[in-house]
Chains A and B, each alone.
Chain A
Amino acid sequence: MLIPTAQEIVHFSGLIDSLNVVEILNDVESKAQAGGIGNSTRKKIFNIAVEALQNLYHHTSDFTVEGKSDDEMRKVQFSFREDESYYYIITSNLLFPKHFKIIEEKLNFVNNLSVEELKELYRKVLTNNQLSNKGGAGLGFIDMRRKSGYELEYFYDPIDQELAKFTFIVKINKNKEKE
């Protein structure tokens, strides 16, 4: 089970489109404000939620598997949780194992970089004049890793021979609010 002691603040399960991305973000923002979370932490949470949701949006909107319904394939979960020490942004979606390999390589790469190396990589990718065919900048994982300050965690659960469920977790320290 994922982070068993964490309380759920915002939960979404379903198909993601540009309208509900905005609604979920509004919900995250208003709950974070109502919960009295300090500005600096609230901004980190919001920024990470934006990147995580837009990753879901860009990478699941055209996901199809022959013989399976598109709705079933494109269903995602998003969750904003907290426990005593951390806030968590958690997403999950279905993907092909071959795509997971690529994601895992990227995650392992950014997870192993120091603060300085991440800053350098961010600048390098920012200025490389490349955008993915889905409009992604290739900066999402780097940015989330920098904002979180912790390794980006993930789980991979094979469902059958051709599909797996990918769960992605970003932690934000509760006690690092700047004075």
Chain B
Amino acid sequence: MKELVLNGTKQTPSVNFNAASGMLELSGRSIPENSFEFYNPLIEWLNEYTAVALDLTKIKVYLEYFNTSSSKYILEVLKKLKEINEIAGKEVSVEWCYDEGDDEMMETGEDYEDVTGLQFTYTEMEE
């Protein structure tokens, strides 16, 4: 399965989803006006990945900013991973990274952890 690699812009995050290694990364800022347009290819990639998911899938999320319109699609990405975990019975881990002192971003991660029931680890990145 082809990897999904997108370079980040001032409005959209960089994406590196690799099916062969089971390592997924989403980082940068996510403030597009049209979040559907940006996130739909990611959701479609994950739909395809579900069938070939490795025993362990790791996703690293390190977002500096995201807008409320992205927040629902980030949840969709995480829900797809939950399906891999629950339906396909594969292990999924989420590493939620945030800038040093950015407690709000950490708490946002906790919201996602509670809502999805996925296992999160938190990493505070030094500036």
Which residue numbers of A lie inside 8 Å of B, CB to CB?
A: 18, 21-22, 25-26, 39-40, 43, 46-47, 50-51, 54, 57-58, 119, 122-123, 126-127, 131, 135-137, 139-140, 142-143, 147, 178
Which of B33, B35, B102 contacts A43 (CB under 8 A)? B102
Q: Does B104 contact A (CB under 8 A)?
A: yes
Tell me the count of chain B residues lying within 8 A, CB to CB, of chain A: 23
* Dominant secondary structure at the A interface: helix
Chain A residues closer than 8 Å to B104, beta-carbon distance:
40, 43, 147
Given A126-B115, A135-B36, A137-B72: A22 and B101 interface contact (C-beta under 8 Å): no
Q: Does B111 contact A (CB under 8 A)?
A: yes
Chain B residues closer than 8 Å to A43, beta-carbon distance:
65, 102, 104
B79 to chain A, nearest CB (A): 9
B57 to chain A, nearest CB (A): 22
CB <8 Å contact, B33 and A21: yes
Query: What 10 A-B pairs come out closest when comparing CB atoms?
Result: A139-B68, A137-B68, A137-B72, A143-B68, A50-B31, A137-B69, A50-B67, A140-B68, A18-B33, A135-B34
Since A39-B101, A135-B36, A136-B68 are in contact, a sample of 20 more A-B pairs with Cβ atoms closer than 8 Å, ordered by chain A residue number, is A39-B99, A39-B102, A40-B102, A40-B104, A43-B102, A43-B104, A46-B65, A47-B65, A50-B65, A54-B33, A119-B111, A123-B115, A126-B71, A126-B115, A127-B75, A127-B115, A137-B69, A139-B72, A143-B68, A147-B104
A121 to chain B, nearest CB (A): 12
Which residue numbers of B lie inside 8 Å of A, CB to CB?
A: 10-11, 31, 33-36, 65, 67-69, 71-72, 75, 99, 101-104, 111, 114-115, 127
In the complex formed, the residue of A with least CB distance to B127 is A39
